Structure 1
Amino acid sequence: MRITIIIAALIYWCAPAVSMTIELERRFGSELAIEEFTILSSTDIELFAPVIEEFVAKRPNIAIHYVLASSRDIYSAIDTERAAYDLVISSAMDLQMKLVNDGHAGRFESPVTASLPDWAKWRDQLFGFAVEPIVLVVSRRDFAALPIPTSRRHFLSIIRSNSATFRNRMMTYDVNISGTGFLFATQDARQSDTFWRLSEVMGAMGTRLSCCSGEMLARIESGEIAAAYNVVGSYAQARAVTHENIKVVHLEDYTNILLRTAFIPHQSQKSQQAGKFLNFLLSSEGQVILEKQGGLPSIFNSSIIEITNAKPIGLNTGLLVYLDRLKRENFLREWNAALVQ
């Protein structure tokens, strides 16, 4: 069984892409708009809608077609299919960096991008627009009589001491199919050896694998699972407001901080319109709307970086290390050996 899964994972990551699966799509703007451009994104529409709606309200001649897909499908659409999109947005920083490094992005310079901190941009081609802590989410009901984990070692100890609570009742990303999950797991592996011990114990407990944060949070909400590891922070915080069983935990040994990034493909036929939107997204006004109405933390939100032992994932070519074919194969093999038991 394990060997089959490992082989399937390697085939999935290495084989030529098939047609992209569009999860949702929506048009923003007036029916009378004379210009329209397309955004390909992994960010849920409801989180991104406020900033788009404000942009098109101020520019009635421009409409935006927003297409939602997985980070892995986005990568394949641009890299293999050469799909025609005008702005590409993803939470998978490593896949975004690879697309840009491989020549798929055009340059974009403006007073707005020039004012960005150096850590939020790369070569005037790739731009960070939101910061995301990657968190542990637990069920308040299941943890009513348990201590809240303060670190991965502590979480590991709690699992071992309460196997009946956690057996078949934990979830994490399936890195075989999720580009974002692969990024989170490889960053964990770089931060601490504890990650592998935790992975082995989670595997022994029958941890379920998921495509996305939304699915994990839904299982916490229903009480089906007790804990979800490596969940996107903004999604978790938004759900916690309306679902009392969700508790968001920032582990104090370290918290990886993700940058959601965007670039304009060099083949875009609407790069001027896409540039206008990118400028708005990165502007003070756009950042306030993104955070206050969409719930995506602004790159100017200092409280995220001030989380105990925050570890921002660097926007640089170091992201490409685990995308090397051999390193990726070795990582997937080790990860599946730990988690798929």
Structure 2
Amino acid sequence: MRQLAVSFVLIFTAGWSSAFEAEAVARFGPSDSPQVLRIISTADIAFFEPMILSFLASYPETTIDYTVASSTELQKAIVEEGETFDIVVSSAMDLQTKLANDGWAQTYNSEATEALPHWAVWNDMLFAFTQEPAAIVVSKTGFAGMPLPETRNDLINLLRQYPEVFQSRIGTYDVRQSGLGYLFATQDTRASEIYWRMTEVMGGLNAQLYCCSSDMIDAVKSGELLIAYNVLGSYAINREDREDFAIILPSDFTTVMLRTAMIPSNAPSAELSGEFIDHLLEKSHGAAVMPLTNPELDLTRVEPSLNRIRLGPGLLVFLDQLKRRAFLSEWESAILQN
């Protein structure tokens, strides 16, 4: 068998082959294979690589081109640019649902998809292969002598009690830029009105805004932040340096995102796409190859307060332009106070 080749190219501008902006590109497998599977995904290369390598162990003659993009850039690539990918993987469930609902996905059915629980599949087009909670990540060193918050009320009280400690040292998503951040924020408001009160308190302390979970976790690690709110727990739990911070699943309610995969309507290698979907589902629900799910991040302990986001057209509500503008206006008033 030919030696497995892996190459990485970092992309920082939009000028490589189309107008959408990719964050990184990697190629796995033989460099000269005529059988190429193109994947566009919001998941970092390091987190998705184990699944790719396990697939190539069964399909060694396949080359996989893996492109990382934000959820908004992914949307642009598919809808505006008409890019041809074989698999689309996204954490932004609302945008992924919109793609499928608007005719950008094809149906697929197999034993693996039929074995999924009802909440993990939508219209035979979207297939969930992870459950990933939104967590609060805090610096253990920075919280020395202070209690760790277990609920959002605890967090609010803590911020009010120690404003000088947390000034400019709280981080969360910039929901104007992050599709996942917007999804988490809108789902928070559906679950409880406490979100707006908490956002106003954070805004009063000059909360720092980020594009993604990895950057927030890095900032907690470096000491730039003491708290990061709504971080993907899956990203935090799989860090080698996770002993430096605590990962809290709020006991009032824990929002859980389903990362989904779909086969685009214009996929060049639809049959191979189906093979990859089956492999993805069988491994992630069975052997737990995918590191985005981790048994240490035990959702059963917050089961009574589990707020699993549901796949389906209900996710499209906050994508309505009027509702989106109204939400972002209220969010900006709360968070941008300085």
TM-score (norm 1): 0.90
Q: What does residue range 163-312 of structure 1 map to in structure 2 within 5 Å?
A: 163-239=163-239, 241-283=240-282, 285-288=283-286, 291-292=288-289, 294-297=290-293, 303-308=298-303, 309-312=305-308
CA contact (8 A) 2:318 2:324 kept: yes
Task: Mark the CA change 1:228 to 1:301 in structure 2 (over 3 Å): closer, same or farther.
Answer: closer
RMSD between superposed Cα atoms in Å: 1.7
Task: Give the deviation of 1:302 after TM superposition.
Answer: 10
Equivalences, count: 319
Amino acid at match of 1:187: Q
User: Please, which of 314, 318, 321 is the counterpart of residue 318 of structure 1?
Assistant: 314
Amino acid at match of 1:281: L
CA contact (8 A) 2:139 2:223 kept: yes
Amino acid at match of 1:102: D
Task: Give the deviation of 1:19 after TM superposition.
Answer: 2.0
Is the partner of 1:60 in helix, strand or coil?
coil
- Determine if the alignment matches structure 1 residue 69 to structure 2 residue 65: no
Amino acid at match of 1:156: I
- Determine if the alignment matches structure 1 residue 336 to structure 2 residue 332: yes
CA contact (8 A) 1:136 1:251 kept: yes
301-310 vs 222-231, which moves further: 301-310
Amino acid at match of 1:256: T
CA contact (8 A) 2:129 2:284 kept: no
Paired with 1:259 and 1:185, the residues of 2 have a C-alpha distance of 15
Paired with 1:51 and 1:243, the residues of 2 have a C-alpha distance of 22
Paired with 1:32 and 1:326, the residues of 2 have a C-alpha distance of 49
1:95 equivalent in structure 2: 95
Gaps of 5+ in 2: 1-17
Amino acid at match of 1:170: I
1:33 equivalent in structure 2: 33
52-61 vs 180-189, which moves further: 52-61
Paired with 2:97 and 2:133, the residues of 1 have a C-alpha distance of 19
Is the partner of 2:31 in helix, strand or coil?
coil
Identity %: 41
Paired with 1:27 and 1:340, the residues of 2 have a C-alpha distance of 41
1:121 equivalent in structure 2: 121
Is the partner of 2:302 in helix, strand or coil?
coil
Paired with 1:50 and 1:237, the residues of 2 have a C-alpha distance of 16
1:9 equivalent in structure 2: none
Paired with 2:211 and 2:33, the residues of 1 have a C-alpha distance of 36
Paired with 2:166 and 2:310, the residues of 1 have a C-alpha distance of 33
CA contact (8 A) 1:305 1:312 kept: no
Task: Give the deviation of 1:301 after TM superposition.
Answer: 10
Task: Give the deviation of 1:37 after TM superposition.
Answer: 1.5
Amino acid at match of 1:322: F
Paired with 1:306 and 1:247, the residues of 2 have a C-alpha distance of 16
Task: Give the deviation of 1:246 after TM superposition.
Answer: 1.2
Task: Give the deviation of 1:32 after TM superposition.
Answer: 4.5
- Determine if the alignment matches structure 1 residue 59 to structure 2 residue 54: no
Paired with 1:218 and 1:282, the residues of 2 have a C-alpha distance of 30
2:152 equivalent in structure 1: 152
Paired with 1:107 and 1:301, the residues of 2 have a C-alpha distance of 34
Paired with 1:333 and 1:104, the residues of 2 have a C-alpha distance of 30
CA contact (8 A) 2:238 2:292 kept: no
82-91 vs 55-64, which moves further: 55-64
Is the partner of 1:150 in helix, strand or coil?
coil
Is the partner of 1:149 in helix, strand or coil?
coil
CA contact (8 A) 1:32 1:61 kept: no
Task: Mark the CA change 1:21 to 1:176 in structure 2 (over 3 Å): closer, same or farther.
Answer: same
Paired with 1:210 and 1:272, the residues of 2 have a C-alpha distance of 38
Q: Per-residue CA shift, 1:144-165, capped at 9, x if unaligned?
A: 1111101101100000000011
CA contact (8 A) 2:112 2:278 kept: yes
Task: Mark the CA change 1:314 to 1:286 in structure 2 (over 3 Å): closer, same or farther.
Answer: closer
Task: Give the deviation of 1:305 after TM superposition.
Answer: 5.0
Q: Per-residue CA shift, 1:60-94, capped at 9, x if unaligned?
A: 22111000011111112112222111110000000
Paired with 1:143 and 1:303, the residues of 2 have a C-alpha distance of 23
Q: Per-residue CA shift, 1:204-233, capped at 9, x if unaligned?
A: 100000000011001100111110000001
Task: Give the deviation of 1:303 after TM superposition.
Answer: 4.0
